[in-house]
Structures are given as C-alpha cells and as structure tokens.
Structure 1
Amino acid sequence: MGRLADGREIIYFDDVPGLDRSVPDPRSLPRPEPRSEVRYDPVLDDWVVIAAHRQIRTHLPTREECPLCPSRGGGTGEIPAADYHVVAFENRFPSLGGPAGGRCEVVCFTSDHHARFGALPAARLDTVMRAWTDRTRALSALPGVEYVFIFENQGAGIGATLQHPHGQIYAYPFVPATLARALESAERFRRREGGCLFCSMVAAEERAAVRVVAETERMIAFVPEAARWPFEVHVYPRRHVPDLEALDERERVELMMLYAEVLDRFDRLFDPRPPYVAHVVQAPVRRSREQAHLSLRVFTSQRAEDKLKFLAASESAAGAFINDVLPEDAARRLRDLGGTGARPRV
C-alpha cells in the first residue's frame, strides 16, 4: 500500500508476487476535502447522497489524457507506476466521504486502455477477485460503513466518464433501499416457507431452463423471469454464501470465469459494443447477513442495435419498469452467442 501526492491510499494487486510498485507520485495536489452529504427522504424511507463537488470531475478525456493509464513517458495520471496488473485507490472526486461518511475507491482491471473485462485471462480474473475481496474486507472494517458495493459502468451510453477498463467500490454509511427491500422479502420468505428466497429462485430457474444462459458445476447464469432491463443476467453460486469472502477457491474460479463469459456475450450483442452496468450483490456489513445470497449481475440499457431504453415516466416517476424485450428471448439470444468456458443450457 502506498500514498498518492494528496494523501489518498493506493494498493497494487499483481498476478505474480515480487513486483516493485514503490513509485512516488510526482504531482503536486491539494488534499481532498469531500463535501458530500447524506440526506434522508422520509416519504420513501430512503437516503440520497448530495455530491455537488463532483461536477468538476474528469469527463471523457482523450486516450492521451486518460488518468487511469500507467505513468509512462512522463505521464502524470492517478497511477504512478509505469505498469500494473490491478490497482485500487481512493477516488479523487468521491461521492462519499467527509460529512457524508463512507468511502469511494476506483479499481483498475488492467493497464491496457483498450482491454475488455470479458477477455481478461484467468490469472487476471483471479487477481481482480482478490482485490474485490480484500477491499470488501478492509472497507467493511471502517467505522460507520454499512454496505460495500462493487460495480462497473462501461460505456458512455450508460454514464461512464472514463473509458479505461475499471470499476468502483462505494462503502455506504447506509444499506441502499433496493438491497434493504430484497432482504426484507427474503426474511418474509424465510418465515413463511423456510429456507432462502434466492436459493429457491435459482432452483426454479434451473428447472425452467428456458432463461438459463450458461452454467458451471458450482455457478449458474440466467435472465430473471421479471427482468427489468432489455438484457439482464444474474450469476449465482448454487451454494448459499453471503459474500465474496465466503467462497471457496474453486467457487471463486468458476464465478469469475462465468461472469467474464457473460460480459463477453454482452460485448457481442451489438456492434458497436453496448454499454452495461455490472455489480456485486453481497451481504450488508452488520444486518441480515443470513438472508443475503451473493450474486453478480449485469444489464444493458440497449434494447436494439440502434435503440437505448430510457428511464422515462413509468420508470423514473412511478418506479414501474417496462421491459421491451421478452426475458426468454434475451436468454436465447445470449445463449446463441456461445462462450468459451461455461456450459450453455440447451
């Protein structure tokens, strides 16, 4: 672990041990002073983060100005090293921190500006998993953190402001409403039926088969029956586990292999590649951990070759999603794209 010029932490994770990443940050930067606030909405029983200072964050820079590329040839980006495998560091323009509490980190998956997550080699996928698990553990230990959210926005069409392959981690000082609602549903299911709501859903999708995209011995990927997005896939461990740290070694390998394959299929849905959001759903730090069931999810707002789904009145104002693509058709199309490692369900 090292420090950037303004005092933010930076942590390198390498595919192989013994690499020297002790490179000083030559920049002159003021210490960050996040001014975010967390405000409570009593009508919806939800929290809203106000982060007006982020208006000045870097927005769609050129390849030559990318702040996530290695600092080669005198470059002065966020990562001082001339090369790296995976690196995590505190966000320079965080949504959380300061009065709001919590913390925001960036995770870069590769030094290659033009790489795709779905094409990363197995060794790199293992390193990404180690980084995610390490940062979940470390951020969960911070005072006031209630939920660690790992995610990736890919493509300008979904709102990503940097094109270099990377994701982010938000350590929230609250449990986001969507997860809280899901865990309440899981608790009602446990009291009514016994067992895990998510395990029951996985078993039902496996029996139905028609929405299953691909699977391994320990993992399964499917389009949910009530998918909200045109193309949406959930990847679940078959075993009930609350978070990344609870996975055994073989489960980690299979989860990342299947997840990368799903992302690769999404990349090949349309030309050019569609934008997507991918994220990890895991247990909160302190509550409802027995109800939570780990999953990795990905969706795209692109519904056709030249059409995006916008969150218009029904979605944005009424909160009721309308999906233009039949989930069974979405699953079939993703299955037909084929993959390289997991077994397709036929």
Structure 2
Amino acid sequence: MTSISSTTLSDGRELIYFDDAGFPKSRAKGLTTDRRGLPPRGEPGEVRYDALTDEWVAVAAHRQTRTHLPPADQCPICPTTAGNFSEIPAPDYDVVVFENRFPSLGPALGAVAANPAWGTKWPAFGRCEVVAFTPSHTGSFSELSEARSRTVIEAWAQRTEALSALPGIKQVFPFENRGADIGVTLHHPHGQIYAYPYVSPRAGVLGAAARRFYDARDGRETLTGSLLRSEREDGNRMVLEGENFSAYVPFAARWPLEIHLVPHRQVPDLAALNGEEKDELASVYLDLLKRMDALYPTPTPYISAWHQAPLDDLLRPAGYLHLQLTSPRRAADKLKYLAGSEAAMGAFINDTTPESVAERLRSVAVPASATPPAVLAATPEGARA
C-alpha cells in the first residue's frame, strides 16, 4: 500500500511524498527541511471574462519568470543535494506532489463571479500542482516500473479527491506534457494537476454533450459508455482490451496520434477507481505509452489528459473518466501544426486515418521488458460484426 507523508516548503507551499508500496523511502530517510528561505508567496493573478465566448481566461504575467530549461545539475525537481537546494528537500523520493511555485491559478481559493459581463476580472482562484514521477532527471513515464506507475496513479487519485473538496473548485485536471515540441520547459519526468474555479471550455462542451445523451436515455446509458461499446463491437480502431479498461483510436480522431483509454465501469474520476482497476491501469497505461514511443526512432511528444467529471450538479451524473492521449506527430519527421482552420475555427483536419493508426499501434513491437497487460484487440479482419 502506498504510504503518504506531507511537509511544508519554506514559503508555505504543501509538498506530499508518495512512496512505492513496501518501500517507504521518504519516511525512512526523514523529511528534511527546505533551507532556501524563499520569500512569501504573492497574490494570485487574475481571470478575465471573455464575453464573446462565455469563457474565463487566466492572466498570469508572473509566470514570465518561471524556471526555463535549467541545466541538469540545477533541476528544481531533482532531489536536493549540497549543490542544488531544489523544490524537493529530501535526498531521495519515489513520487512527489507539490504546489507550483509559479501557478496559473491560486494560491487563494474561492468562487469566480456568478454572473460575469464584459470587463469582469476576478482573482485567479484555484490550485496548480506539480507531480514528479521519479527522482531520475532523465527518462520518461514509459520507462517507469509498473510499481512506480501504480504509485503515480495513487497520487493522481488522492490529489483528485483532496482538490475536489477545496472551496470553489469546479474541475480537477491531471495531465502530462512530454517533449520540447509540446512546450515542456523542464525535462525531468513530471506532470501537473490543475484545479480550476470554473468548468474549462473543453470540459463544458464534453459535459453538455454527455448530459444531453444521458437525459435522452433517462439515465440508462452514458455517452462515453455507448462509444466504448460501439468501438469494441466494431473492432477496427481498438488497440487493446483488458478486464477493466479498453483503449481505442476514436472514430473521429482529431490528432495524427490519438488514443482514448476508458474504464469499463462508469466512474467520475480517478479517485473512484477501486484497487483492482488501479492495478490494471498501471500496466495498461505503460503499455500505451510504450506503443506510442515504439512507432518512430525517436521519442514521440504527447499530451496525456485525464478527463474527469466536473464538480457540477448538472454535468457530473453523466460524467465518465477517460484518458485522451494525443500527439501532433504525423510522421517521423513531421508535426501537425494547428493553423488557420484548427486554431481560428476549431475545425480539425486530420492527416491520418484512425483505422491505420490503430493497426500500427496494435502491431508495433513493444520493448521486451513490458509484460502485456491486456489482450490485444482483434485485427480488422477479426473484428466483430
């Protein structure tokens, strides 16, 4: 069982150690004190209301001074050494979550204006956290052990539950940006969690569609559950199927590489998964990342986005946890750029077919160290009618 220990950094930010099951690393070595003497935290930035789109936009000018591509010996999320007093004061750790020193949202908490209009600006309430997957400065999530993957999942689940209980929070979003082409400014393997004081635009669109479908069926079926069933019955875009999770390239994929990983049971978020589901997720998720990395000679940049049900009385009943794993890489030496149609109109044009991408992901040679976590989906010839 994952053990959890917490401490406070010198500027008052919370830091939490999550230790691999059976290996209480941070407790054994002690929670050392942050000796940097950081200045007190500043006030939050602001969110401004965009009346044209009915959306909130965060304005965080203070982030211009955030850490940008530091040398390896000055990495802020490596363990602390005599020459590098980092964000993590312990000399070793397994997984660590801490409040971002340069947050887009927070540290103050509260609700945004209920009836905004043009000219409305509000404190950028919320919380932004960093999740360090490993003390090793190099590598990626796909190179973690299954035990470490399970610890990260436990951290995501615990933080989802804790952040969801904070005042004013409407949505909790764990994610990972991997690769310079995505815009990563720290190479150390890590992810982030945003706790928004509003329902984000994308979650609002997905939530509204899910609620319409749910209401039309009197709560008997969810939209995501229906799509999962349809993809499994068709079979052409399936990547793998397990006891508790299945992965597929969606019928109308927007990105050159896009995989949806969906639990077979409707749950609103990672915190609602049971132990057996988390165990399988730890291996299935690693398998998907290894498949994506095995497509080309060099590591593939990606965004790993966990879509969790918003904390909204209208949207949450129809909500259904799922992962959207995407990459703009359309060939070994080509990226898909969001130009006029996508960036201005939100109208995506995909350069690949979902069926061909699924076939490649099914057939790619996963590194021998990976234990197949699930039965590979049928090939198109063996797809179910």
- The C-alpha deviation readout for 1:149-191, integer Å capped at 9, x for no partner, is 1000011100111010100000100011111111111111122
Give the 5 Å matches for 1:79-118: 79-97=88-106, 98=108, 99-118=123-142
Alpha-carbon shift at residue 338 of structure 1 (Å): 4.1
AA aligned to 1:231 is L
Letter in 1 for 2:344: A
Which residue identity lines up with residue 322 of structure 1 in the other structure? Answer: I
AA matched with 1:2: T
Task: Please name the residue that 2:57 is paired with.
Answer: 48
Q: Does 1:283 align with 2:317?
A: no
- SS of residue matched to 1:54: helix
- Once residues 277 and 60 of structure 1 are traced to their aligned partners in structure 2, the CA distance between those partners, rounded to angstroms, is 19
- Paired residue secondary structure (2:47): strand
Contact 2:11–2:39 (CA<8 Å) still a contact in 1? yes
1:236 is aligned, of 249, 262, 285, to 262
The letter for the 1-side match of 2:17 is Y
Structure 1 equivalent of residue 352 of structure 2: 325
Aligned twin of 2:294: 268
Matches for 1:179-190 after TM superposition, within 5 Å: 179-190=203-214
1:298 partner letter: L
Q: Determine if contact 1:259/1:296 at 8 Å carries over to the other structure.
A: no
The one-letter amino acid of 2:165's match is A
1:74 deviates by: 3.2
2-structure distance, mates of 1:192, 1:144: 30
Shift of 1:28: 2.2
Q: Which residue type is aligned with residue 264 of structure 2?
A: R
Q: State the 1:254 CA deviation.
A: 1.1
Residue identity in the other structure for 1:127: T
1:74 alignment partner AA = G
**1:122 pairs with 2:154:** no
Q: Which of 317-326 and 262-271 deviates more?
A: 262-271
Find the counterpart in structure 2 of residue 136 from structure 1: 160
2:239 equivalent among 213, 219, 222: 213
Count of aligned pairs between the two proteins: 346
CA contact (8 A) 1:338 1:344 kept: no
Q: Which amino acid aligns with 1:313?
A: G
The structure 2 residue matched to 1:151, chosen from 168, 175, 178, is 175
Q: Is contact 1:151–1:278 with CA below 8 Å preserved after alignment? A: yes
Aligned counterpart, 2:28 = 19
Residues 283 and 294 in structure 1, CA contact (< 8 A), matched pair in contact too: yes
Displacement of 1:119: 2.3
Residue 78 of structure 1 is matched in structure 2 by 87
Residues 1:220 and 1:73: Cα distance change in structure 2 (over 3 Å): same
2:42 is aligned, of 33, 39, 48, to 33
- 1:5 maps to 2:10: yes
- Identify unmatched segments of 5+ residues in structure 1: none
Match of 2:375 in 1: 343
Alignment TM-score, normalising by the size of structure 1: 0.97
Contact 1:314/1:320, CA 8 A, preserved across alignment: yes
1:294 is matched with 321
Aligned equivalents of 2:312 and 2:18: distance in 1? 27
Tell me the TM-score normalized by structure 2.
Answer: 0.87
RMSD: 1.3
Measured against aligned partners, the alpha-carbon deviations of 1:7-48 in whole angstroms (never above 9, x if no partner) come to 111110001235344100111211121442111112212111
Q: For the residues of structure 1 that align with 2:294 and 2:47, how far apart are their CA atoms?
A: 39
Indicate conservation of the 8 Å contact 2:310/2:316, yes or no. Answer: yes
Contact 1:35 1:53 survives alignment (8 Å): no
Q: Distance in 1 between matches of 2:362 and 2:195?
A: 34
Greater Rg by CA: 2
**SS of the residue aligned with 2:205?**
helix
8 Å CA contact 1:34–1:93 kept in 2: the answer is no
Amino acid at match of 2:223: L
SS of 1:290's equivalent in the other structure is: helix
Give the distance between the partners of 2:31 and 2:312, measured in 1 at CA. 35
CA contact (8 A) 1:6 1:31 kept: yes
Q: Deviations over 1:183-223 (max 9, x none)?
A: 11111112223411110000000011111111211110111
Unaligned runs of 5+ in 2: 1-5, 109-122, 379-385
**What letter is aligned with 2:62?**
H
**Matching residue of 2:72:** 63
2:228 pairs, out of 202, 205, 216, with 202
1:328: how far off? 0.8
In the alignment, is the contact (CA less than 8 A) between 1:126 and 1:256 conserved in 2?
Answer: yes
1:160-171 matches, cutoff 5 A: 160-171=184-195
Q: Which amino acid aligns with 1:59?
A: H
CA distance in 1, matches of 2:62, 2:30: 31
